[in-house]
Structure 1
Amino acid sequence: MRLHRTRQSSSVPPPRSVRTPRRARRITLPRLLGSLLLVTAAGAAAGSGPAAAAPAPRPLGQVVPAPVEAKPGGSPYAITAGTRIRVESESREARRIADQLAGVLRPSTGYALPVTGRGSDGIRLRLDPHDDASGAEGYTLRSNPGSVTITAREPAGLFHGVQTLRQLFPARVERNSRQEGPWTVAGGTVRDAPRYAYRGAMLDVSRHFFSVAEVKRYIDQLALYKLNKLHLHLSDDQGWRIAIDSWPRLATYGGRTEVGGGPGGYYTKADYREIVRYAASRYLEVVPEIDLPGHTNAALASYAELNCDGVAPPLYTGTNVGFSSLCVPKAVTYDFVDDVIRELAALTPGTYLHIGGDEAHSTAHDDYVAFMNKAQAVVGRYGKTVIGWHQLTGATPVGGTVAQYWGYDRTGADERKQVADATARGTKLVLSPADRGYLDMKYDKDTELGLSWAGYVSVRRSYDWDPAAYLDGARPGSVLGVEAPLWSETLTNSAEIEQMAFPRLPGIAELGWSPASTHDWDAYKARLGAQGPRLSALGIDYYRAPEVPWAAE
């Protein structure tokens, strides 16, 4: 899942791309998405030129991810000083989405945009419980001169529809200060729903620790592109990042460092609950990961009794993998696993709990199988569905288990077959191929940040593959979706996260959301290039990939 044999040990000076933590550079949470919800649009601002000179509205289909269907028709809608945002139901969630939208649009348009009840004009958010075609996350957006109406069966669909609406306005709508209009939306209809139910991104907060504000900033960015899972890698050799009451030294001692020897950190239970709450308000589910039985040096250093010899190793600040393992035969190991999973499950309202399972090179195979089988049972006991890295298929996945595949195109046939065969027994798949979906891989040989053990991953390579056809022999329908992991060996702050995530993250999001029929690199790169000014308006200093025709700022 990450570095293999090329990793640097702590006794060797880090390569140029492995930076010392620079907390002074960390970006605090602006109103990034307003982050979020929003759509944006504002009527022609005072002082704008005559209507005839106004630029044409953005075509309805020119958004990321591509919608299922976009049919132009009729005259555009324009936000004006009299526009209202109307909530067509008594739903508190719909009202909250409307308030978020207003919070995004007001600064750039300069309009009051009051949130009110039913009406035939303005921006209308409408829940229709009988709209079965939309499913749990789909929506329909209709634009005409009198109104823009977003209709969905569920609040999540309204939220996703707002993200589409937001992209239909000029990029400057994302700015936090008054901008000139006009704020128009092309006439016509968008019908949309996701291809896959699981569309995720992973943030490694163990190699380097990221604050609650930095995680929230990333959540806002994920939500803009309709992702719905945030996988947090909460433990590894370099740091333990979540407070566990029954084993307090995991966080207070095991969380006190990171790669390069920085100060580290951890989330209190209140911090974690706030991340979960914030993600839910953007319709993302948090998937917590405790990596077991390897990648456990921080835990082993915190509690000597977890080691077979009863001796705690020192804390670790390097980047090697595969050297640590819980002591499988000891009964205390399973007390530890039970306590950690019990407390984490109680904090996590979502469906899934990730137990890692990769790169356990210091665990004998029979011990690995025995341990992972017991760990899966603990997860089930506390009401969660197991996710593990695809090496879990070498044990005995329980019914409904999800294997996260991180191999790559040149991964051996036997390993790929093992994963594919598991799908015949009911295992589901989330696809994160390292040489396509890992956002910490360098773009090319000149990329300053990131790693290259899986090869260079250009923007085109990260986009140009089909999840449904990726793993030969996998049972049809076994793919739940895709996830874009971002490992943090070389990343220390939000600016560096964004350099590596953008512009590749939107492509992974499109693979998860858009129908296969829309998949076309030439069309996609044009739509992606149009996102450049929007990313800049949001304060994201993205990588200007030369293969993408970036629009002028």
Structure 2
Amino acid sequence: MKNCLAFITLITLFFASCSQKPKPTFTAADITLIPKPLQLELGESSFEVTSTTAIVLEGDSPKKAADYLVGLFKTAANFNLELQNTLAKEAIFFTTEEGLNEGAYKLKVNPTSIHITASEETGFFNAVQTIRQLLPKAIESKKVIDVAWYIPSISIEDEPRFKWRGMHMDFSRHFFKVDEVKSFLDYMALYKMNTYHMHLTDDQGWRMEIKKYPLLTEKGAWRLPNNQDSICNTRAVENELFKIDESNFKEVDGERKYGGFFTQEEIKEIVAYAGDRNITVIPEIDMPGHFKSAIDNYTYLSCNEDSGWDTVFTYPACLGKETTYEFMKNILSEVVEIFPSKYIHIGGDEVNIKSWEKCPHCQKAIKEYGLADEHELQSHFNRDIEQFLHSKGKKLMGWDEIVEGGLTKEATIMWWRGWRPDALKKAAENGNDVVISTTDAYYFDYLNEGNPLEKIYGYEPIPESFTKEQSENVMGIQANLWSEWIPNFKRLQYQAFPRMLAVAENGWAPQKGKDFEGFNARVEKQYDRLDVLNVHYYIPAVKGLDKEIMIVDSTLVPLELAYPLEGVEIFYTLDGSVPTQKSLKYEKPFSVKDTMIIKARAYRNDIFNDIKTVKVVKSEYVDAAAVDIKEKGFRRYVLKGKYKEVDNIKTWTNNKWEKVDSVDVADFVDEKNFNLVYTGYFYADKDDVYEFETRSDGGDHLYIADKLVVDNGGWHGPRKRFGKIALRKGWHPIVLKYRPSDKPRVIEVKYAVQGEELVPLKTQATGF
């Protein structure tokens, strides 16, 4: 009997050992961490987190990170992992090591344990986010998933490049709710971003409860539908990503109005939620401009006790009245009590100073304080507010316009005007801390096609001209989501992802060794995780429908994605209807023979992008002119005077002209009150449809054979317009009229056979 029991025991142990699955080994292709760690070494096998895995803490610093890890497994696996401070087998150990930089951590994973080392809580939290990305995507699930929770054997040493790795949301133009804010904070935490900028007030709405001034939210948080809403509504007819959240409408004073605001308790809830994720919330209360939502209800704040819009911007608060300063400080007194952040952002951008130029109160203040002009008046205001914030233990932050008129060394700026490097230079020379947030790369309200992922990833935030000392004053980077055309949370996700991942990596990883192809490969692996998080991210646009298609008989229409992405398919329609996954699936170029509207969009499972639309126009060939061309080039006429419309520019046979080889404005950049007309003939080297593109400031019209082919008229800054025409082989008369802006910068013409690459229109294609 004894021998039998021993045999049974051996058999049981044998089968138990056979039933244990070997732990998987991961490859480098499986590691898709964003941001990329500084040092990473991949090992054999992996660690499995089970319901009995212990979490061992040393001290209090790791607790926030450990609690977050416990919460992930509770939600996705229904594990009740225990925190303890005694040794355990097959455990996750959090150990404090003095001397590591803020945010830095070490992570070592082997088949029997995980060791996380940091000097303070942000380092521990960053390590947990790395573990989160190393785990299966199911860890993001809001319901229990039955999977094996393996983490690759790996050794990582890591720390951030910048201390400010930020994202911004604009609540004034269109409003977002507390739960949506929390979701966004979860996305930020996943990619180790640590600063959340809330733009809470602007002309279109006041979004934070201020108890001393209840009208700010009772009235100022609600507005009648405006042009931003109407544009979104127009787009929403075909694209639900532009649908305005109906829950943000309510009846106010008998009228249907849009709006919403956060109570102070809701703000505290957001701040606490962010704090649990080691994210600092920065409030922005825009002043003294972009203040209409306040002035509407407290009209004594303006210079003339009136509220409204001037030509471009609204009337600002009056800086010659003590009541303005009192009002601002009373607001900020409540703000600083709710937001524990070191910085309070006061905006300060795009202030319309014209009303101050005429205001007796402002002019009196300028004289009394010995100020040079209205810019120094704003700086006087900024310094007064800054001193007040200092008394509350806070620091002032503003957009880069606050540099004009002077700054104290303690103020911090956000440089957003990439076209004004002088503002950044002034701040750097003054020793001010700066956050880089330029339109050049970090304005995510711009469409993905215009501000793409590769451009953002390749953008270096610290100018080459900066000294080492000035570079150290760059606190970091931030991307902004202005919400004029972002009317709901799905659209906000679409604008933020995947570009937010480039900001996360640029804020963390050093400039040296950046590799877009490697980064993009990791981004593509993140999409499955974002699917679990229910993020409606951007997928590549459909190319081939960005310009009108002209045909004489028929043509083939080729479509392609802006860049390849696995699992993305193109669907299109030929009757102008909205394409769905039940529409025609694009397999190869298709033939069109008549006038029609083509619409196309891409899908990746349920994720879709914006629709691309093109009109197919049927035309007839324009016959070539029977002319004998003597010389190559153009005749150029210079006409003095100012013309209201481009078409008012006339040329006569007795006008003086000169021969030129190309179209440009180089000889006239210092001239005033001039206009240019180019005439000659364009040579079409075969029967085909030709495309012409002009780029100019001011305005231009391009005619071929007396037909207006490119209408780039109006009054505008540098912009491009195009047109097409079907031409028989031979010479065709061409006329270009150009009315420059007050500061002439550009006039140029390009051409190509439809579908080919545009080239400058020069001597070889023209004559007279």
Return the TM-score normalized by structure 2: 0.59
Equivalent residue number for residue 460 of structure 2: 466
Q: Secondary structure at the match of 1:529?
A: helix
Q: Distance in 2 between matches of 1:366 and 1:395?
A: 4
Equivalent residue number for residue 72 of structure 1: 42
Equivalent residue number for residue 305 of structure 2: 310
Structure of higher CA gyration radius = 2
Does 1:380 find its partner at 2:348? no
Q: Secondary structure at the match of 1:475?
A: helix
The 3 A distance-change label for structure 1 pair 137 and 199 is same
Instruction: Compute the displacement of 1:99 (Å).
Output: 3.0
Gaps of 5+ in 2: 1-18, 230-255, 355-373, 541-560, 568-604, 606-768
Residue-by-residue CA offset, 1:396-416 (whole Å, 9 max, x unaligned): 2112211101123xx1xxx31
Instruction: Compute the displacement of 1:366 (Å).
Output: 4.1
Equivalent residue number for residue 87 of structure 1: 56
Q: Distance in 2 between matches of 1:337 and 1:348?
A: 16
Equivalent residue number for residue 191 of structure 1: 157
Gaps of 5+ in 1: 1-48, 445-455
Q: Secondary structure at the match of 1:186?
A: strand
Residue correspondences, number: 481
The 3 A distance-change label for structure 1 pair 297 and 548 is same
Equivalent residue number for residue 718 of structure 2: none
Q: Distance in 2 between matches of 1:269 and 1:178?
A: 34
Q: Distance in 1 between matches of 2:78 and 2:272?
A: 29
Aligned match for 2:378, one of 343, 362, 368:
368
Q: Assess if the C-alpha contact under 8 Å between 2:287 and 2:346 holds in 1.
A: yes
Does 1:121 find its partner at 2:126? no
Q: Which one has more relative contact order, counting CA pairs under 8 Å at least 6 apart?
A: 1
One-letter amino acid of the structure 1 residue matched with residue 39 of structure 2:
E
Segment drifting more, 420-429 vs 257-266: 257-266
Q: Distance in 2 between matches of 1:126 and 1:426?
A: 39
Q: Secondary structure at the match of 1:103?
A: helix
Instruction: Kindly report the root-mean-square deviation, in angstroms, between the aligned alpha carbons of the 2 structures.
Output: 2.6
Equivalent residue number for residue 317 of structure 2: 326
Q: Distance in 1 between matches of 2:90 and 2:142?
A: 22
Does 1:162 find its partner at 2:111? no
Q: Assess if the C-alpha contact under 8 Å between 2:64 and 2:125 holds in 1.
A: no
Aligned match for 1:287, one of 262, 282, 287:
282
Instruction: Compute the displacement of 1:138 (Å).
Output: 1.2
Instruction: Compute the displacement of 1:342 (Å).
Output: 1.8
Equivalent residue number for residue 441 of structure 2: 436
Equivalent residue number for residue 72 of structure 2: 104
Segment drifting more, 391-400 vs 158-167: 391-400
Q: Distance in 2 between matches of 1:102 and 1:369?
A: 49
Return the TM-score normalized by structure 1: 0.81
The 3 A distance-change label for structure 1 pair 235 and 426 is same
Equivalent residue number for residue 393 of structure 1: 403
One-letter amino acid of the structure 2 residue matched with residue 149 of structure 1:
H
Counting only pairs closer than 5 Å after superposition, residues 31-50 of structure 1 correspond to structure 2 as none
Report the identity percentage. Answer: 30
Q: Distance in 1 between matches of 2:88 and 2:259?
A: 53
Equivalent residue number for residue 506 of structure 2: 511
Instruction: Compute the displacement of 1:393 (Å).
Output: 1.0
Counting only pairs closer than 5 Å after superposition, residues 127-526 of structure 1 correspond to structure 2 as 127-128=95-96, 130-133=97-100, 135-257=101-223, 260=229, 262-313=257-308, 322-363=313-354, 364-408=374-418, 411=419, 415-444=420-449, 456-469=450-463, 475-526=470-521
Instruction: Compute the displacement of 1:245 (Å).
Output: 2.1
The 3 A distance-change label for structure 1 pair 266 and 125 is farther
Q: Distance in 2 between matches of 1:381 and 1:504?
A: 39
Aligned match for 1:532, one of 527, 534, 542:
527
More strand by share: 2
Q: Assess if the C-alpha contact under 8 Å between 2:166 and 2:197 holds in 1.
A: yes
Q: Assess if the C-alpha contact under 8 Å between 1:60 and 1:72 holds in 2.
A: no
Equivalent residue number for residue 30 of structure 1: none
One-letter amino acid of the structure 1 residue matched with residue 401 of structure 2:
Q
The 3 A distance-change label for structure 1 pair 324 and 518 is farther
Q: Secondary structure at the match of 2:188?
A: helix
Segment drifting more, 465-474 vs 185-194: 465-474
Q: Distance in 1 between matches of 2:110 and 2:88?
A: 11
Q: Distance in 2 between matches of 1:432 and 1:479?
A: 11
The 3 A distance-change label for structure 1 pair 278 and 109 is closer
One-letter amino acid of the structure 2 residue matched with residue 337 of structure 1:
M
More helix by share: 1
Q: Assess if the C-alpha contact under 8 Å between 2:32 and 2:526 holds in 1.
A: no
Instruction: Compute the displacement of 1:52 (Å).
Output: 6.8
Instruction: Compute the displacement of 1:548 (Å).
Output: 6.3
Q: Distance in 2 between matches of 1:218 and 1:149?
A: 29
Q: Assess if the C-alpha contact under 8 Å between 1:369 and 1:394 holds in 2.
A: yes
Equivalent residue number for residue 539 of structure 2: 544
Q: Distance in 2 between matches of 1:177 and 1:355?
A: 41
Q: Distance in 1 between matches of 2:151 and 2:312?
A: 51
Instruction: Compute the displacement of 1:120 (Å).
Output: 4.3
Q: Distance in 2 between matches of 1:292 and 1:478?
A: 25
The 3 A distance-change label for structure 1 pair 83 and 495 is same
Instruction: Compute the displacement of 1:180 (Å).
Output: 4.7
